[in-house]
Amino acid sequence: MDERVREHAEVLVDWSARVEAGDDVVVSVGPDAHELAVAVAEELGERGANLLATYSSDEITRAYLRAHEGEFDEAAHEKALLEEADVYLSLGGGRNTSATADVSSETRRNHREARREIREQRYDTRWVSTYHPTRSLAQQAEMAYEEYQEFAYDAILRDWESFAEEMARMKDLLDEGSEVRLVSEDTDLTMRIDDRTAVNSAASVAYDSHNLPSGEVFTAPYATEGEVTFDVPMTLRGETVRNVRLEFEDGDVVDYEAEQGESVVGDILDTDEGASRLGELGIGMNRAIDRYTDNIMFDEKMGDTVHLAVGRAYDACLPDGESGNDSAVHVDMITDVSEDSRLEIDGEVVQRDGEFRWE
Amino acid sequence: MDERVREHAEVLVDWSARVEAGDDVVVSVGPDAHELAVAVAEELGERGANLLATYSSDEITRAYLRAHEGEFDEAAHEKALLEEADVYLSLGGGRNTSATADVSSETRRNHREARREIREQRYDTRWVSTYHPTRSLAQQAEMAYEEYQEFAYDAILRDWESFAEEMARMKDLLDEGSEVRLVSEDTDLTMRIDDRTAVNSAASVAYDSHNLPSGEVFTAPYATEGEVTFDVPMTLRGETVRNVRLEFEDGDVVDYEAEQGESVVGDILDTDEGASRLGELGIGMNRAIDRYTDNIMFDEKMGDTVHLAVGRAYDACLPDGESGNDSAVHVDMITDVSEDSRLEIDGEVVQRDGEFRWE
């Protein structure tokens, strides 16, 4: 086995999920993530944790969803599993990133809505999502397989502890601030962040961070005003989406357009009330991610980018007991801030053309 | 997709597991059983059942078990899942039938014992085990892949309803009988079956039958006396075992030997008290299974064979409220009865040289 696969498993189990003896761990395995699952199983065995592997295949989901008619039930057995789980590790990695392209958006929406409580249960665990670099992900990134492996492991196998110290500077600025303004070509957006706590997303549940790789600082903005253009392309629900422009008034999206994939954007915004408000403002700081690979978990952490998500806000950003924006969706969109851009907090520039104030 | 895969899924979901709308179904997917899992997902979607797929990989099990030291916990999350499950479908099919060959028998035993309650929960569902014909199973059978597929589907895609009527004759004879005697070369064994109910194993939970393919009639004997030689070879825990000879007194194995794999047999018999008593007597009647393929689910149903299992007895064979032989194991061993053999019930021959009384 490639030594990097073992290192990936070790970072995931130790740094990211903080697995301990006796933990009940669910490992969700993508069809091509088998090798990483084997390495994770070894780490879990060494720590005396309990392992149940689930199988997460988009082809199975597609077959099930297309055959299903009418309302979806909540799956009581899956809910019971997650209620008892301490840790949930998602090892993504399929064979075709477009495997669910022909499932209708209405069916997806109904299915997502029926699974709301199951998702909440998962968010109550020490959950971490990661990807095993597969050929399908390499293809999505328009990269050769070995080239993609190097890219992915550079982003994943970092010295997370010292990286966390660097990101703490950005967190402190956001925690002390009240208003954020993002200015770039075709973008001038203000958001309130009073009383919100930024997450130093250092790829560990100990930092309220649930992605590996991570490398961003994010918070939960509100009262958004102005307009923003997301110039980094992405694939949403199997379709390419380019140059999405959103216009906000009093926190809500009042107008949207996109050069490509506009109907997907419309479907997402229509999911529920919270889907047309922001749930997240994130500052990408992982400079090992130096190119766009059309995988949101990597893209949104890219150095010199800022992303915003419509939909669900993360509890970690909110004052205790306060519920932020709620939605069945959380969809991130990204804008490049490496040129002709500035990010201000309470009128002070904290990042200009990609460079942070302390650099 | 090969039409036979769809038919397999349909037989499994409808005939075998009797899945209905709202059922909470666990589908355990082997690493190479993906295609069957997709077909099963479609069937479950059509019926409005709820699907959770688990991933059953011997390589994951090996990695976990070899890394684990000390006692195993019971996995509370897996138990909770099975407590809520109505149906459990095991879709076997890996890439290497010897994938756990280097796990110590002590570790296996400890792990099996810790999972006793989880197994019981699974047996409380409408559970069905089947195999997707894979290259690894073809290799185990010493057959070409396409040849093996034809063999497997011939055994699986039968007219189960009419086959069940034929097997009912054997069940009636066993239900009315008190003592069974098996006589063959190197075998002369008697077993009591008073008050026991035979299972007409027609590959459906409606018949208390949990294998697809099936095609056997079995009961739970006791007070076994005499000796038996199992001349059909098999692979137990990754090792080849040949010509096992067991000697019984008053229900217990008092002596054993084997031409090959004797230590595996010894390990099994040592598992616990019940492991050295019989849990099952089965009459193989599926003549579409016309050759030995070194896969117990198929081999034990082979026409013109009889098999005995040491270990756990199935509740379906026992009077209400009575507990039969209990053990963490259930290991079947097979003897060919096509020549120089007879099976008697209360002194009357019911099968001679493979031919049943009614034939």
Per-residue pLDDT of A67-120, as tens digits, reads: 999 899 989 999 999 999 999 999 999 999 889 989 998 999 899 889 999 999
Percent of the residues in chain B that have a pLDDT greater than 90, as a whole number: 91
Q: Chain B residues with CB inside 8 Å of A43's CB?
A: 67
Please tell me the distance in Å from B46's CA to the nearest CA on chain A.
5
Mark yes or no for CB contact B81/A78 under 8 Å. yes
Name which of A63, A64, A81 is nearest B77 (Cβ-Cβ). Answer: A81
Amino acid A88: pLDDT: 98
Mark yes or no for CB contact A26/B77 under 8 Å. yes
- Binding-face residues of A in 199-228 toward B, CB within 8 A: none
Q: Does A54 contact B at CB distance below 8 Å?
A: yes
In terms of Cβ atoms closer than 10 Å to its own Cβ (0-12, 13-18, 19+), residue B159 is: exposed
Please tell me the distance in Å from B211's CA to the nearest CA on chain A.
22
Mark yes or no for CB contact A41/B64 under 8 Å. yes
Would you state the torsion angle of the CA atoms of residues B257, B261, B263, B267, taken in this order, to the nearest 10 degrees? -100
At B239, the pLDDT band (50, 70, 90 cuts) reads confident
Beta-bridge mates of residue A310: A278, A331
Q: Does B77 contact A at CB distance below 8 Å?
A: yes
Euclidean distance between CA atoms B145 and B136, whole angstroms: 9
Q: Chain B residues with CB inside 8 Å of A60's CB?
A: 37-38, 41, 51, 53
**Cα Dmax for chain B:** 56
Amino acid B60: pLDDT: 98
Mark yes or no for CB contact B77/A52 under 8 Å. yes
For β-strands B187-192 and B222-230, DSSP reports them as antiparallel
Percent of the residues in chain A that have a pLDDT greater than 90, as a whole number: 91
Q: Chain A residues with CB inside 8 Å of B79's CB?
A: 84
In terms of Cβ atoms closer than 10 Å to its own Cβ (0-12, 13-18, 19+), residue A300 is: buried
Q: Does B45 contact A at CB distance below 8 Å?
A: yes
Mark yes or no for CB contact B57/A77 under 8 Å. no
Name which of B61, B69, B77 is nearest A85 (Cβ-Cβ). Answer: B77
Amino acid B323: pLDDT: 84
Mark yes or no for CB contact A48/B63 under 8 Å. no
Amino acid B313: pLDDT: 95
Please tell me the distance in Å from A350's CA to the nearest CA on chain B.
46
Mark yes or no for CB contact A60/B38 under 8 Å. yes
What is the distance, to the nearest Å, from the Cα of residue A80 to the centroid of all Cα atoms in its chain? 25
Distances (CA, A) of A279 to A218, A340, B73: 10, 25, 40
Q: Chain B residues with CB inside 8 Å of A110's CB?
A: none
Name which of B45, B46, B68 is nearest A45 (Cβ-Cβ). Answer: B68
Closest C-alpha among A267, A238, A311 to residue A105: A267
Closest residue, chain B, to A118 (C-alpha): B52
Mark yes or no for CB contact B55/A68 under 8 Å. no
Helix (H, G, I), strand (E, B) or coil at B210: coil
Q: Does B3 contact A at CB distance below 8 Å?
A: no
Q: Chain B residues with CB inside 8 Å of A53's CB?
A: 54-57, 60
Please tell me the distance in Å from B198's CA to the nearest CA on chain A.
32
Q: Chain B residues with CB inside 8 Å of A75's CB?
A: 24, 50-52
> Average model confidence (pLDDT) for chain B?
96
The packing angle between helices B116-123 and B76-84, to 10°, is 10
Helix (H, G, I), strand (E, B) or coil at A218: strand
Closest C-alpha among B7, B340, B2 to residue B186: B340
Q: Does B1 contact A at CB distance below 8 Å?
A: no
Euclidean distance between CA atoms B76 and A24, whole angstroms: 7
Q: Does A38 contact B at CB distance below 8 Å?
A: yes
Place of tokens 């208003």: A179
Closest residue, chain B, to A82 (C-alpha): B77
Average pLDDT estimate for B24-45: 98
Q: How much is the ipTM here?
A: 0.89
Instruction: Dihedral sign for Cα A151, A152, A153, A156, please.
Output: positive
> Average model confidence (pLDDT) for chain A?
96
CA atoms lying within 13 Å on the CB side of residue B267: 15
Length of chain B: 359
Average pLDDT estimate for A180-187: 96
- Give yes or no for a cis peptide into A31 (omega within 30° of 0): no
Euclidean distance between CA atoms B278 and B256, whole angstroms: 14
Average pLDDT estimate for B221-238: 93
Q: Does B114 contact A at CB distance below 8 Å?
A: no
Mark yes or no for CB contact A53/B52 under 8 Å. no
For residue B108, the one-letter residue type is R
A112-137 tens-digit pLDDT: 889 999 999 999 999 999 999 999 99
Instruction: Dihedral sign for Cα B161, B162, B163, B164, please.
Output: positive
At B124, the pLDDT band (50, 70, 90 cuts) reads very high
Mark yes or no for CB contact B59/A38 under 8 Å. yes
Please tell me the distance in Å from A210's CA to the nearest CA on chain B.
21
Mark yes or no for CB contact B67/A45 under 8 Å. yes
Beta-bridge mates of residue B336: B305
Name which of B31, B48, B55 is nearest A70 (Cβ-Cβ). Answer: B48
Amino acid A236: pLDDT: 87
CB pairs under 8 A between A and B: 156
Place of tokens 């199951």: A118
Distances (CA, A) of A260 to A187, A244, B29, B123: 18, 8, 38, 52
Please tell me the distance in Å from B53's CA to the nearest CA on chain A.
5
Beta strands (DSSP E) in A231-329 are 234-236, 239-249, 252-260, 278-284, 305-311
Euclidean distance between CA atoms B82 and A39, whole angstroms: 26
Mark yes or no for CB contact B42/A64 under 8 Å. yes
Q: Which domains does chain B have, with CATH numbers?
A: 3-156 (3.40.1830.10), 160-356 (no CATH)
The helix (H) or strand (E) run that includes residue B240 is strand B239-249
Q: Chain A residues with CB inside 8 Å of B65's CB?
A: 45
Closest residue, chain A, to B70 (C-alpha): A48
Name which of A42, A43, A77 is nearest B26 (Cβ-Cβ). Answer: A77
Please tell me the distance in Å from B91's CA to the nearest CA on chain A.
12
Q: At residue A319, what are phi and psi to the nearest 5 degrees? A: -60, 150
Amino acid A321: pLDDT: 85
For β-strands A234-236 and A239-249, DSSP reports them as antiparallel
Question: Do the Cβ atoms of A80 and A18 come closer than 8 Å?
Answer: no
Closest C-alpha among A102, A43, A114, A49 to residue A75: A114
Euclidean distance between CA atoms A89 and A14, whole angstroms: 12
Task: Tokens for A254, please give them.
Answer: 């009042």
State the pTM of this model.
0.91
B296-340 tens-digit pLDDT: 999 999 999 999 999 999 989 999 888 889 998 999 999 999 999
A13-69 tens-digit pLDDT: 999 999 999 999 999 999 999 999 999 999 999 999 999 999 999 999 999 999 999
Please tell me the distance in Å from B162's CA to the nearest CA on chain A.
30
Average pLDDT estimate for B242-253: 97
A234-253 tens-digit pLDDT: 888 778 999 999 999 999 99
Average pLDDT estimate for B214-225: 97
For residue B256, the one-letter residue type is Y
Amino acid B238: pLDDT: 75
- Give yes or no for a cis peptide into A213 (omega within 30° of 0): yes
A135-152 tens-digit pLDDT: 999 999 999 999 999 999
CA-angle at A201, arms to A123 and A310, nearest 5°: 65
Name which of A26, A46, A75 is nearest B50 (Cβ-Cβ). Answer: A75
Please tell me the distance in Å from A318's CA to the nearest CA on chain B.
30
CA-angle at A274, arms to A26 and A346, nearest 5°: 100
Percent of the residues in chain A that have a pLDDT greater than 70, as a whole number: 100
Q: Chain A residues with CB inside 8 Å of B87's CB?
A: none
Q: At residue B329, what are phi and psi to the nearest 5 degrees? A: -115, 160
Amino acid B237: pLDDT: 79
Please tell me the distance in Å from A11's CA to the nearest CA on chain B.
17
Residue A322 predicted with pLDDT over 90: no
